[in-house]
Each structure stands twice: as structure tokens, then as C-alpha cells.
Chain A
Amino acid sequence: MSTTDTVQPRYVNRELSWLEFNARVLHQALRTDVPLLERLKFLCIVTSNFDEFFMVRVASVKRQIKNGDFAQCPSGIAPSTLLDQIITRTRELVEQKYRCLIDDVLPGLAAAGLVLRRPDEYASAQASFITKLFQEEIFPVLTPVRATEGQEVPYVTNLRLHAAFIVEPQRDANLISEDGEQATGKFLAIVQIPSSLDRIIFLPDEAGRVSFTLLEDVIVQHAAALFPGYRVVSHCIFRVTRDADMGVDEERDEDFVEAMEQVLAYREFSEPVRLSVSRGAGELRKILARVIGIDESEVFDKGEPLDTGALMGLTSLPGLDDLKYPRWPHYESPDVDPDESIWDSIRKRDILFHHPYESFDPVIRLLQEAASDSSVLAIKMTLYRTSGDSPVVRALEKAAEAGKQVTVLVEIKARFDEERNISWAERLERAGVIVIFGIARLKVHGKALLIVRREQHGVRRYVHLGTGNYNDKTARLYTDFGLLTASPDIAYEAGLFFNAITGYSAIPALNKLVMAPVGLKTRLLQLIDRETRRSSSDMPGRIDAKLNSLADPDVIEALYRASQAGVRVRLTIRGICMLVPGVNGLSENITVVSIVDRYLEHARVIYVHNGGAPELYASSADWMPRNLERRVELMFPIEDADARARVVAMLQLSFADTTNAHRMQPDGSYLPPSDTRTSKAIRSQEALQTIARERTRSTDVTNQKVFEVRRKAPRG
């Protein structure tokens, strides 16, 4: 990880930083204190992360090499050097991943009754089951293709699993080739593992045990059926990763979990970036590299199964709860009193939700209530990545049909989403919703909801602002903050924000709220610089922030300046961090931690001490040029004292975490957590789950220990 330069680099390269992030995810899989199926899940996530990384980032690096090999990253590394480092580190991580899968996880699962069987391990009943399955269902859909000598094979589609065979004619077979001559000699055949069939095939087994095998193993076992008259000389399984289109959305972390379900079929036949081949492929390795058109240095040897992500399906099998994390309920926020109208609750004081420790249901209920409340005049919201039958969409439909003015801003990715998402957007339109399909050249990433209601004393507006999407599924897996408020200032500015993104108005000047790309970066720099200016030896400045990525050089420089002025800067950054902490004279007052645990850390907040008048903001934006300059984002203040205290507590816990916090070193590497489960250990996510539980407890009647009895006082 460290360079051999004598001069300490000022920035960590973005790609290398990302690799360390994936290493942290892998670390979770390696931990023995994590339940087995969760470890498997993490392994799958590591795989899909790599897929995306190669498809987008590594492809980009390769293109940079082709275009002159100029260093583009602020870290100053030339793309060719970078590519070498990426490949080296990736090999290390892939090796660790497979060792873990094959030496730890699969055996562990087998011991727990979930067994992966290779063809040579089938019991006889299983073997005949498989043979029948192959003949009836698999064989009919296989299409082996002969690879012609000297020609590349573009029909190997992106990320799909394939089997490769070298076959030669059997001695006694009588084979005529196309030109009428006796066919001799070997040739290469490629068979795509059909994606229409399940990759995991469950075998009949005795009760209490689940056995499964893999589709590709079955195909390889019966390969002879594909080449009558030929003999299979060697075989392997392989996968090609190709360059994805330039217009692809890079926000991979949003799809952290959805990644399993998505098949990213962008440019199916674009430039290959990576070739993964199963071990023991022998000469096939070289042959495939040649026909695919990739350099041998970019060939990765993987254990089996390749494309580990397919195993994710195992995690949803019933009855394996002891192999998973203990269930953590999503608590109902105690600030939402079920006996009171939600509107009254919000008016009384701001309500802060901390998902997924607290349930997202109140927000959905708010929408549903707004949809059926006759005093509600209008609903406006941003919908970034939601699914067709989400309760959110249904509530909006209902509201429009009830005559309210509903305006929805929908972010649709080019091409890919058109099939999946556009149908529900059209449904909304037919119901009377004003649907805005994004803004030219800018992605709308800010998350806001505005409800206008006519009440006795006039019109009132209710606003929900958040760091996460209006997606009930991700709300159970990502940590996020959401704020419900009826503050007139914030509501007014939320209105201005919507006027701008729905096209009624030019971009407004805002005070309370901050918008990117017109002011968020400026404000951020202002906050940091003000802390720098105010910092003194008696009262040093303090900045605590939580984000998913830090990659903007201007912001990094501002933080360096802050550190040099004595400001204590603590950052908890889940993913990429290009800032180098703890370097004397540059950043000795900056500490960076990264927390990887069962929930995906996703919230974004910044806290500044401001000489005793602290300010706290939450935001939809990470600190990357992409967010700050090329997207529409929203940053909002959290002013309610209780809400603030809760967010600050979360920040404190992040920095005090000893079980899941990796600590970034000056050379860009991360020190893993000490992994102790002593009584002093602090696991921030668990502590936050406990806090959420305790908050509901304090209003719970069953917690009483003594009855309040009505009677005459006893006589002594």
C-alpha cells in the first residue's frame, strides 16, 4: 500500500482506497465471530463489488493508459503503475476470499447441515436425480459454440459464467468436417452457463440436511453429451468482465444489496477488462486469454465457485436463523405517538429518525395519511431508485386520484432502468401525478418530501428531509437519518427547492437549506474554514463528520489547513478516503475510521464546534466532486436539541467503536479492529440498536415494577 517515494504522498489514490474498502468488507467475511451465512453474504458482496469495480473503474484506468498514460488522480500515480498495483492487491484479496470460502465458510456450512456437493460426492440417488435433470432441463438449452482459430470471441457476454472445453475427436469415431475431409485435431468450445436456469441446484437429501450442487459442475460432468464423437481433453469455468458504458451510474454503494439482483448488462461486447478462470485450467488459461483478447497479467485464477455472488440465494433459505445475525427489530420511534395525529406531533417538535434502528414505517404512514387527508393540498417528493410496487408509489397514486396536486421527481438511469422503472412512472402519470423525469445534465440526488396542508389557522407545510432514499427495502439495511419538521423557514425553502427542480422557478438563494451544485461546496468550505479561523489553543476547533466517501481535493485541503491550525478533525468514512491522516505537519490532528458491520453505513453528517455554538448538518451528498459539483443535493441543519444530541451520540460511538472500526494509517492502509468481545468492547451499531430499544422502553408501561395502588394507607 505504501509507495516507495521518499516524499509522503498528499493524497491516497481513489482506486487503491476503494480496494481497501473492499478489503474491509472481506474482513467481515473472515471474522469468526460473524455468523456463517452472514460471512457468506459478505463474500458475495466482495465479489459483486469487484465486478462493478473492474467494469467501471479499472476499465477507466485502462482507457487512460491507452490515451497517453497521464496521471489524472491528485495522488499523481500514472495509470499504468496504478493498474499494476490494483491487480496485485486484487489478487491478494481474491486469494483471501477463496481461502475463506473454501477452507472456512463452506465447511462450516456443511457442518451446520448445508452442504455443497461436487459431482464426485453425489450419493447414488443424487447422481440419478442430476442425470435426469440434465437430460430433461439443462441439455436442451445448452448451445456450445466452436471458437475458430485466430478469431476473437466477442460473444462471451459481460459477467456471464461460461465453460470452456478443449475437445479432440475420439479415436474410433468417424467424423467428417465441413470441407468434407476427415476431422482431426482439437478445438475450443465455449458453452454459456444458462442464466435462465438456477445456478444452485438442490439435491434430494435426508431430513435435516440440505445438499446442493452447482449448475456449472453438472454441465462439466455431462459435457461428453455435448460433443458426441469427441473427448474432452481439458475444461475450465471462466467469466469475462467488460468495460461498462461511460454513462453508467457509479454510485455502487446505493445498490450494495440490490447488486445481487441486478445484472449489469451494459455494453455486452465492449472491451474486456478482466478474465476470471477456475484453477487447474492448464493450457486453457493462455488460450482463453488470447481468444478473449486480454493480457495474461489480467487473468485471475479463482477458486470455485466462480461468481460467488450466486451463492447469495442460500442466505434466504428458511430455517437457518442460527447461522445469521440475531434479529434486530426496527423500533417504532417513540416520538410518534400513535394516539396523536402525526401533524400535531410534528408541529410540537421536530422528529428525527435513525434508520434502520428505527423503522421507516412512520414515513410511509405519513404519506399514506397525507394521501387520504382531505385537508392536504399538495405533495411533492423526490424518488430516487424505488421499485414499482413500493407503498410509497401506491400512496402517491392514491393522493393524485383524490385530487391533490402531486409532483414527483423521478431519477431514471439511462437505458437500464427504462424497462424496470418507467412503467410505474407512467402509471403515476396516468393517475394525475406530475412526473418530472430528471434534470438535464444533473442527477437529482437530494431527498425531500413536502406536504402542504390547509389547517384552521391557515396553510401549514410539513417537510421530510433525509440522507437516504424513499425506499422501504434499503431503509432496513442502510443507516440513515430522516428529519420531519414543520419549521416555516425550512418548509419555505423546501418549497423553493421544489419550484426549481420542477421547472417553475430559477434556482433560488437559500439560507437554512444548502443546495448543490449551487452552494453546498462553498458552505462546506466555509464551515471548515470558520472552524480553522476560530480555533485557538484555549479552545481548539472541532469537526466531526460522517460520510461514505471523501474525494474532493478542495475539501481535503481545507481539512488539512484545519488540522494545521489545531482543529481536531474526526472522520468516519465508510468507503473511499483520499485524505491522508496522521501525517506530521499536514494532518496530525485528523483521525479517520471506517465502520463495516451488519448494516451498511450510509448517513452523512457534519458537526462543527463553532466556538461553543455548535452546528450540525445532515446531507444527501458525499464529499466527492461528483456530488458537490455535478448533482443536485441538499444539506439541512438539525436544530432541535434532542435530535442533535442523538446524532452527536452516534458520532461519538463511531469513534469509540472497538469491534468494527478500522483505523486509517498515514500510509493509506487500515488497522483492523482489535476484534475483542470483552466487556469493554464497543460495537457502535449494537449500541445504537440498544439506544433505540431503550428509547421505546421509557414509554413502555410493562416496564413498571410496582403498581400504583389506591387504598387507605396501611396502619403500622
Chain B
Amino acid sequence: MSDSARSEIAAVIDIGSTAIRLVVAQLGETGEWERLDRAARPVPLGRDVFMSGSLSRESMQQAITILTGFRELLHGWQVPDNAVRVIATSAIRESRNRDTFLDRVLVRTGLKVEIIEGIEENHLTFLAVQHAVAPMKARFSRANSMIIEVGGGTTEIMLLKRGKMVAAHSLRIGTVRMEQEVRPMWSSGDQIEEYMRENIRVSQELLNSELPLGRIKYFVAVGGDARHVAHAVGVKEEEHYWSISRKDFDRYLDELQDRTVDEIVRVNNVTYNEAEGLVPALTVYRLFLEETTADELIVPDVSIREGVLMRFALGSEWAVERQFYGQVVASADNLARRYQYDEAHSRHVTDLALSIFDQLQDEHAMDRHSRMLLEVAGILHDIGTYIRASGHHKHGQYIVQNSEIFGISRDDLRIISNVIRYHRKALPNSSHVAFVALRREQRMQVLKLASLLRIADALDRGHAQRIRSVRTEIVGGDVILHCDYSGDISIERYGFDSKANMFEEVFGLNAIIS
């Protein structure tokens, strides 16, 4: 960021399933923002994609027209090009012709669209939500909560146990997605509810296994539909969020269910676009709400767009991650717990690995983000034993590659799973597809992190945490690991050399235990 004005102006354009939305905000250094301007125009991108799999020509044209208008709007604010973020979610993400669309947008408007994955939607929404409900932080840290956003294509759900992230999922349930199936049933609100109840059951069971929904006290509903209800029957508690009593919410939804879409447009004063998705969205909220013991809904006055703004405002990746670093770790912990890992061992190995990482900073020159990946890898490195002890590094790779961890992007997952793969046994070679598919710098990352992890793992071979801590000292071409231990560490010593082989290859230094 430049050194000029304290605050600068940034903008986010969000290409969603039902509309393209824009926010222009003035940013402070520590992530606060003040909304300056806002615009939104409907365009049925989700309908095209969820029905036929690709974007229609008309919708693409419409979208480009809207984006061109937004460009003009931004010009009035003199937002520099590098302060504009354009994101796209499920509709564009899943369309077959998305590359064509992205290219056309770039050519016609000069805007570069960033497609974000489901789990990253969580991440960004969480950033914004956290900021909005900051006054409630103390209460959140004492009870369990659920953050849920029902969108056009997906529903993002995050479960927090006493303020710590326990699960983060992106479910393929969305108002537009459901619309095609639900449309013929429109006349009966009860039928819609039943249908959706069945659809959601599986997801609810999954969530329940991670955190009993019945013990959730705070229900945070994010999204335009929730905001609509908040405007109508909610109470503005603080600057950035509303509270709706469960009773008022139920009553409002019941009224809506008795109306046709046209009536909703007229009576509830919304556009046709909004009216179509209102009942399905609110029904999903209700179905989840029912499982909890929350007696009110908290509706923050933010969306994923504010999350993007905050990420932009905070600048470096690390500053952002510090915001929810604890959540990432908690999420990883929870995943590991599901696979009944040896918590003490994994935690200890992780600590050792991080300690070595910090001490050898000059040697590996990796950043804080990599450190976090190492930590997650450390927590999860043995979960493959859930399936089978033999080959558990490969099983672990597979599990992690196909899991959802809050705050970890797909790219990062690839790195972590590879690090887990190589924490024991064979070193990477050209026949290992998952490794070869990585970019060059990612491969280097894997190699470095895996070597550190291997050493740390070797230091607790016995799973008894006998080596309490380690101090590194570089002497000539060697790295001496001075261990502070208790008891007999012969097991640890025994396998050390074989595990340290990767370290030598990668860093060109001999690792010696002393």
C-alpha cells in the first residue's frame, strides 16, 4: 500500500448466482471499512448453469453490460484498477464455459475475475462476520455457534465450539439450484419444506457428528434473504448486526409461505428476483435453526464482499491469517479428532516441527503461511492410521486431499497432503502423480516441509514425548539437534538417520542428534 492517504478506496464486485453486486468502501489499515457505495443488478447466471451446465449467451451479455456499468461507477470514485477485486462463486465456478466467460469479461471490461472455491467462501464470509459481531465476541467464546449462509448455488456452514472453528462446509444446496425442482410445488409451502427437509437430512447428520447441533446457542444467518427479514421484523442491536427472535422469524416465514411470488413482490416490497428465492432460502435457515437451541437469529450486515474488502485491507496473507489462524488450527484439530488420532503425539510432533522451522528460518526462508501449512500437516500426519497402519502416509494423503479444512484452499490442501505423504518412507519421484502435478515452487515447499516433519516425527518415534524440546546449532555442514529429553531415547535415535535422509537431500546439511 502507498504511504499517502491513511485510508484508501477499494471495491469488490461479486458475480453470484442471481445477481452481480458491487461494494465500494473506504478502508482503514486494520481492516475496518466504511461502505461508500453499493449497487446490484439481477442476472440469472445460476439458473443457466444449474439447469444446463453452461452460461447462456444472453446471460453472459447481460453480465458484461452490468460489469461495464459498474466500471463506469468505479470510475466516478477513481478507484485504481489494482484496488478492484472481482470474485465469482458457484454459478461461474461450475459452468462448463467459464473460461470463455472470464476471457470475454477481461477483454470487454478489463476486469480480471477470480473464481473462489466453496471453502474459501467460508473463509471470507467468516472474516466479515467476525468483524460485524465483534461486540458479541465474549458470548461466542462461551457457547457453541453456527454461521450459515444460503446462497443461490451453495450453502456455507461453519460450526464453532466455544468460538473455535470445528467444521466448515460448502453444501450444494442453493435457492437457484433447488428452484428447478421446487417450482412445480410452489403452491404449497409445507410441501417445499418437506422436500427440503429430506434433502438436508444427510448434511445435518454430517454436521451433527462434528458438533451436536442441539447444543448450538447462537445462530448467525448471513445473506440477502436473512437481511430482508431482519429489515422487516428484526431489531438493530449494534452498528453491524440485527437480532430476530425465533418467533418473529417463524411467523414471517409462515406468512410468506402462504403467498405467491407475485404477492410477495407486492406485499413485501421486493423485486421479482428476490421474491423467487426468499421462501426456499428462509426455509433452509429454518430447517437448520430447528435443530439448534438458539432462540434468536443474529443477522450481520455483511456479506462475502466485505470479507474480500477486509482481506484486501489487511494486505499480506499473513495478516489475514492471523485473524483466524486459531480457527484454521481448530478446524484441523477437529478433522484429526474425527479420525481418532493420537493427539499427544501429533501435537508434540507439530510443536517440535514448528520449533525447528523457527530456528532454521534462515536456512529454509519460508514464510508464515508455510509455517501454518506445516502445523496443519503436523496435526494430521497420522490420521491415515484410522484406515490402516500400513501405508498410513498414503491413506492420510487421500483423506486430507478430500476433506474440508477451514481457511485452507485447494492448493494448500494439495501441499499439506503431499507433506503428509512424504512424512515417512519413500521420497518423491517422477511416478508420484500428485507430487508431479504441483508447480515447481510448491514442490520445493513440500520437500522442505516434509523433511522437517520427518525429523520431528522421528524425534517422537516412541509416541511417548520423551524428547521435550530441541535446540538447533549449525556447525560446519551439520545441523546439531540438542535434545532436552527424559528417559531412554534409543528408539528415537535408532530410526533417526533414515528419517533424516530427506533433510540432507533438501538442505544439504547433515542432521545429527546429540
**A residues in contact (CB < 8 Å) with B:** 377-378, 380, 405, 407, 434, 452, 454, 456-459, 461, 488, 492, 495-496, 499, 503-509, 518-519, 522
Contacts and interface: CB of A to CB of B under 8 A. Distances in A.
Contact of B41 (A378, A459, A505, A522): A505
B269 A499 contact: no
A459 B26 contact: yes
A505 B26 contact: no
B293 interface: no
Interface in B50-75: 69-70, 72-73, 75
Contact of A504 (B5, B19, B73): B73
A508 B228 CA distance: 12
A452 B38 contact: no
B9 A459 contact: yes
Given A499-B73, A504-B69, A456 B5 contact: yes
B39 A519 contact: no
A508 B38 contact: yes
Contact of B77 (A407, A452, A457, A522): A452
B271 interface: yes
A459 B77 contact: yes
A492 B36 contact: yes
Given A377-B76, A377-B78, A405-B75, A459 B38 contact: no
A458 B26 contact: yes
A83 to B, nearest CB: 37
Contact of A499 (B35, B37, B75, B273): B37
Contacts of A488: 34
B40 interface: yes
B42 interface: yes
Contacts of A459: 9, 26, 36, 77
Nearest to B71: A504
Of the listed residues A452, A461, A495, A519, the one surrounded by the most CB atoms of chain B closer than 10 A to its CB is A495
A442 to B, nearest CB: 16
A506 B41 contact: yes
B385 interface: no
A452 B76 contact: yes
B77 A434 contact: no
A505 B76 contact: no
A452 B36 CA distance: 10
A625 to B, nearest CB: 17
A507 B5 contact: no
A499 B7 contact: no
B6 A378 contact: no
B388 interface: no
Given A456-B5, A458-B7, A499-B38, 17 more contacts: A405-B72, A434-B72, A452-B76, A454-B78, A459-B36, A459-B77, A492-B35, A492-B36, A496-B38, A499-B37, A499-B73, A504-B69, A504-B70, A504-B72, A504-B73, A505-B22, A518-B269
A7 to B, nearest CB: 34
24 contacts: A377-B76, A380-B76, A405-B75, A456-B5, A457-B5, A457-B6, A459-B26, A459-B36, A496-B39, A499-B37, A499-B39, A503-B69, A504-B39, A504-B41, A504-B70, A505-B22, A505-B38, A505-B40, A506-B19, A506-B41, A506-B42, A506-B273, A509-B231, A519-B269
A505 B39 contact: yes
A434 B22 CA distance: 20
Given A496-B38, A506-B41, A458 B5 contact: yes
Contacts, number: 70
A457 B72 contact: no
A407 B78 contact: no
Nearest to B6: A457
Counting chain A CB atoms within 10 Å of each CB, the highest count among B22, B35, B40, B231 belongs to: B40
A495 B7 contact: no
Contacts of B19: 506
A292 B72 CA distance: 56
Contacts of A522: 269
Nearest to A379: B76
Interface string B17-50: 0010010001000000011111111100000000
Contacts of B69: 503-504
Contacts of A456: 5
Nearest to A503: B69
B76 A407 contact: yes
Top 7 A-B pairs, shortest CB-CB distance: A505-B39, A405-B76, A378-B76, A458-B7, A499-B39, A504-B39, A504-B69
Contacts of A518: 269
Contacts of A499: 37-39, 73
A458 B29 CA distance: 12
Looking at A454, A457, A499, which has the most chain B CB atoms within 10 Å of its CB? Answer: A499
Contacts of B38: 495-496, 499, 505, 508
A664 to B, nearest CB: 35
A492 B77 contact: no
Nearest to A378: B76
A492 B7 CA distance: 18
A580 B69 CA distance: 49
Contacts of A503: 69
The residue among A377, A380, A522 with the most chain B CB atoms within 10 A of its own CB is A377
A443 to B, nearest CB: 21
Contacts of B5: 454, 456-458
A179 B75 CA distance: 76
B36 A495 contact: yes
B268 to A, nearest CB: 11
A506 B78 contact: no
A506 B34 contact: no
Contacts of A458: 5-7, 9, 26, 34
B9 to A, nearest CB: 6
A457 B8 CA distance: 9
Contacts of B39: 496, 499, 504-505
Q: Could you say which of B34, B35, B38, B39 has the most chain A C-beta atoms within 10 Å of its C-beta?
A: B39
A506 B72 contact: no
A509 B228 CA distance: 10
Contacts of A380: 76
A488 B25 CA distance: 13
Contact of B271 (A492, A496, A507): A507
B41 A492 contact: no
Contacts of A496: 37-39
A456 B72 CA distance: 24
A135 to B, nearest CB: 63
A463 B26 CA distance: 18
B30 to A, nearest CB: 15
B77 A377 contact: yes
Contacts of B76: 377-378, 380, 405, 407, 452
Contacts of B271: 506-507
Nearest to A499: B39
Nearest to A454: B78
A432 B271 CA distance: 33
A503 B9 CA distance: 22
Contacts of B42: 506
A490 B113 CA distance: 32
A495 B75 contact: no
B37 A492 contact: yes
Nearest to A403: B78
Nearest to A519: B269
Contacts of B26: 458-459
Contacts of A405: 72, 75-76
